Structure formats: C-alpha cells, structure tokens
Amino acid sequence: MSHSLAELVRHYDRPGPRYTGYPMPPAWRDDFPEEELVAGLERAAGSDAPLSFYAHLPFCKRRCAYCGCNVTISPYYDPVEPFLQTLERELDLFAAHLKDRRGLLQLHWGGGTPTYLKVPELERVFRLITARFPLLPGAEVSLEADPTFMTEDQLPALRALGFNRVSFGVQDLDEGVQELITRGQTWDHTLSAVGQARSLGFEGINIDLVYGLPGQTLGTFGRTLDEVIALAPSRLAVYGFAYLPKMMPFQRSIPTETLPSPDLRLELLLLASEKLEAAGYVPVGMDHFAHPEDELAKAVHDGRIIRNFMGYAVQAGPDMVSVGPSAISDVGGVYHQNEKILSKWEKAVDSGHFPMHKGHTAAGEDRMRRWIIHQVMGRFELRWSELAEKWGVDGPLLFAEALGQLREEEPWGTVKVTDEGVFVTPLGRRFVRNLAMPFDAYLPLLAGKTFSRTV
C-alpha cells in the first residue's frame, strides 16, 4: 500500500529531538559540575584528532517576531568590547585544558547575527580564535549572516580571512510577510548579498527559509521558492515556524489570525519539497536540501554524512569546542551548555570559571546509542555486524522493543528491518528523526519537554 506525501507528513509530524547529539539538552543536569567538564577536556586533550569549533556571537540590532534564537538585542555597539574581552578569556580557558590539541577542521559562527560586528571586530574575533585554535588545510569555515544589516566591506573581509561558506537568513521574500515578522528584508538585500558572496568565490552559499509564517499563502511562498531557486544556492534549510508565545512573549506581536492553518502549513511544506526536488535539490532529512553538485548531496548518496551540534556536515572533528552565551560543547564524552544570559556568561568567565548552565557526561550506553542514532541519521542504516564489532552487543536482542516500533513503520515504506540490520529507505530519509527516536532511552522520561516538530 502506497501513501501520499501528505499522509506521511500527517503520520510523522510530532515533537521530537533533532539528535545533533545524544541525549539532547532536556535530559541534561542543571547542576552539572565544572569539574566534569574539565575532566572531559583533559580526556579530549589526549587525542590528536582535529576539532570542530562554534562561536556564538549573540548580538542583533532588532528582534524579529518569529525568532527563537538566543540573542542580545542592542541597537548600540557599546556591549561589543566587554563581550570580546570575555570571549578572549573563555578561549584561554579552553586552550589551557586542551594542551597541544588545537587544529580546527570545522569553524562556524552563529548567533544572533555575526555580521552585527564591524569589520575590525570580525577580524579580531577570527584572530582571537585562530591564534589559539589554528585552521587545518581544507577546513570548512562558515558563518550565518543577515543581509539587511550587512555592509559592503564585511563579506570581502571575511573571505580574505578564509571563510568559504555563508548562510543567509531569508525566511520569506514577500513584503507582507516580512512586515508581519518585523524583519524588513527586501529582494534587493538578498540578491545583493548572494551576488557579492558568489563574486568573492565563497564555495558554499546557503539560504534559510521558514514555512508557517504569518501572512504566507501558497502563492506568496511559491514565488519566494521560485526566486530563491533562481539564485541556485548550494543548500537550503526550510524550517517550520514554531509559534510559542508562552515561551517567547515577543511572538505575541503576531496577530494570530494571520498564521496559516494546520492544513495550509502542510501545503506550504509540500510545495517547498515539490519545487526544490523538481529543481534537482536532494532532500537531507525533512528540512534540508542540497544542490546535487554540493558535497552534502554527494555525502547523502555515499552515506558519509556527519551529525553534530552544528547539524549535518561532510567533515567534522569528533570533539567540538563552543564559546559564547548558550553555546554547546561536546568534548571527551561531556556535553556542556554555557550560560544563556550575556551578563551571567560574562560574570562566570571573568571570574576564571567556565560558564556552567547545564551538562551531561555520557555513560557507555549513551555513547553506544549516540553511535546508533547517528548511523541512522547519517548513513541511513544500522548493521548488526558493525554494532557487534564496535560495541560487543547483540542488536536484535538488546533493541527488540525499538525494532518492534520500527516494524510498525514498514507498511509506510520508510524503513526495512532485516536480519542484517535497519535500513532507512530513500523516502524514509525525509522522516529520519522519527526513525531514530525508538533508540532514544531518555525520550519516555522527557514528557512535557518542548521539542521542535519533526516535520
């Protein structure tokens, strides 16, 4: 029995983790001790493998009504200098514990809006990081940028520093939608930013869109998709808008009558999938698409995708160091999230301590289940022989309950459970978060926790 994509979406659309790690932050300890993070860093220091690195640059000039990011709104530049001084101290804390293990295979800046910073400060942040953690040959060096606040000198300076991939937030190109989400980004902003990045030789140009925004219709979103496809980005992310006014009071400025109905929201997602795949883009999970010539699309085909707290990647270090408020590190079997509030982050670091918000030390079973989930999320298969060789366990026996749940999904055409292992079908790759969830031992304990929807 075959099912339409609409039926599949309705079946699989539910809250669930993104599995950038395992377990995810809702399962971590709020009273996580600094000593355990230090122990993780000491273990990580003993490896000679390259690192991944993330810097959270939290500033924005204004709050967009849809945004769920951890940001510090400041129309004035005054907070930047104290932030940079604290960032340098935090870098020194990590460097002191990682000894000679410093080489970066992956560097990413997010926020906030990294391009809130002016060129001298962008160059300063880059040098602060790379003086302590030098880039290795062939490293992926990327950042997120808001075209509405970019100046003509920023991308050239970033390209000269070595950045080779840039992700532009667009969300929607319709003027009415832009007004409702208080963003004010015009087509000219987007066209100019993409054109400049391409002329400068950025290897990857990514665009982020959001469906389910206020004021969206099939007509307006269809035009946005057509115009974005014409720009030929390397990758697109098409996220579902999470309307959570209780958690994010600023979203109350959005008139509820302007939000798409659940049925229209589904139609918007299906329209995006239809248009992007017709244009040749390869779906990566449900909300990412890669140009067929992009390395991510090739990695999907070859089963080489890597999953970490920066999402899907083609190359990444086995440990990730992260700095800035709310940033998440993954080092030596320890997950650690920084204080989210800028002032608390600064106070902790300035006192000579890591800014502890929450964390988790992975036990042996955690590490095994993370490996399993990332096999499913990245390679789209789990082979019992590889599980037995790496972890010394009988997969069908140990995970009988999970396999029972997955066998119930077989009639939907998304997964096959055989004597050799678990195999996600090409269709099932679009719902891979759902197909990883049966292996999550923490999920039943997290009822009531807020996760994004899987579709």
| Amino acid identity at 269 | L
Within a domain: 67: yes
Mean pLDDT of the chain: 92
Q: Which pair of tokens denotes residue 72?
A: 């510090």
Render pLDDT for 315-348 as a digit per residue (tens, 0 to 9). 888 999 999 999 999 999 999 999 999 999 999 9
Within this chain, do residues 6 and 46 fall inside the same structural domain, yes or no?
no
Q: Which pair of tokens denotes residue 110?
A: 């997010």
Within a domain: 335: no
Q: What are phi and psi of 308, to 5 degrees?
A: -150, -170
Render pLDDT for 384-425 as a digit per residue (tens, 0 to 9). 999 999 999 999 999 999 999 999 999 999 999 999 999 999
Q: Are residues 121 and 80 in contact, defined by beta-carbon separation less than 8 angstroms?
A: yes
Q: Which pair of tokens denotes residue 115?
A: 């391009």
Give the pLDDT score at 450.
67
Indicate if the pLDDT at residue 301 is higher than 90.
Answer: no
Within this chain, do residues 14 and 29 fall inside the same structural domain, yes or no?
no
Q: Which pair of tokens denotes residue 178?
A: 């832009």
Within a domain: 301: yes
User: CA torsion 46→51→52→55, rounded to 10°?
Assistant: 80
Within this chain, do residues 268 and 214 fall inside the same structural domain, yes or no?
yes
Within a domain: 404: yes
Q: Which pair of tokens denotes residue 402?
A: 């999970």
Give the pLDDT score at 390.
94
CA dihedral (96, 357, 322, 76) positive or negative: negative
Number of compact structural domains in the chain: 2
Q: Which residues pair with 165 in a beta bridge?
A: 142, 204
| Amino acid identity at 143 | L
Render pLDDT for 81-117 as a digit per residue (tens, 0 to 9). 999 999 999 999 999 999 899 999 999 999 999 999 9
Q: Which residue has the tokens 């075209």?
A: 147
* Closest residue by Cα to residue 283 from 8, 17, 25, 66: 8
Q: Are residues 278 and 234 in contact, defined by beta-carbon separation less than 8 angstroms?
A: no
Render pLDDT for 180-230 as a digit per residue (tens, 0 to 9). 999 989 999 999 999 999 999 999 999 999 999 999 999 999 999 999 999
Residue 80 pLDDT level (bands cut at 50, 70, 90) = very high
Within this chain, do residues 405 and 291 fall inside the same structural domain, yes or no?
no
Is residue 311 classed as helix, strand or coil in its secondary structure? strand
Distances in Å between the alpha carbon of 419 and those of 249, 334, 395, 428? 50, 34, 10, 19
Domain of 314?
23-319
Say how many C-beta atoms besides its own lie within 10 A of residue 57's C-beta: 29
Within this chain, do residues 52 and 200 fall inside the same structural domain, yes or no?
yes
Within this chain, do residues 372 and 387 fall inside the same structural domain, yes or no?
yes
Q: What stretch of H or E contains 90? A: helix 80-98
Within this chain, do residues 157 and 182 fall inside the same structural domain, yes or no?
yes
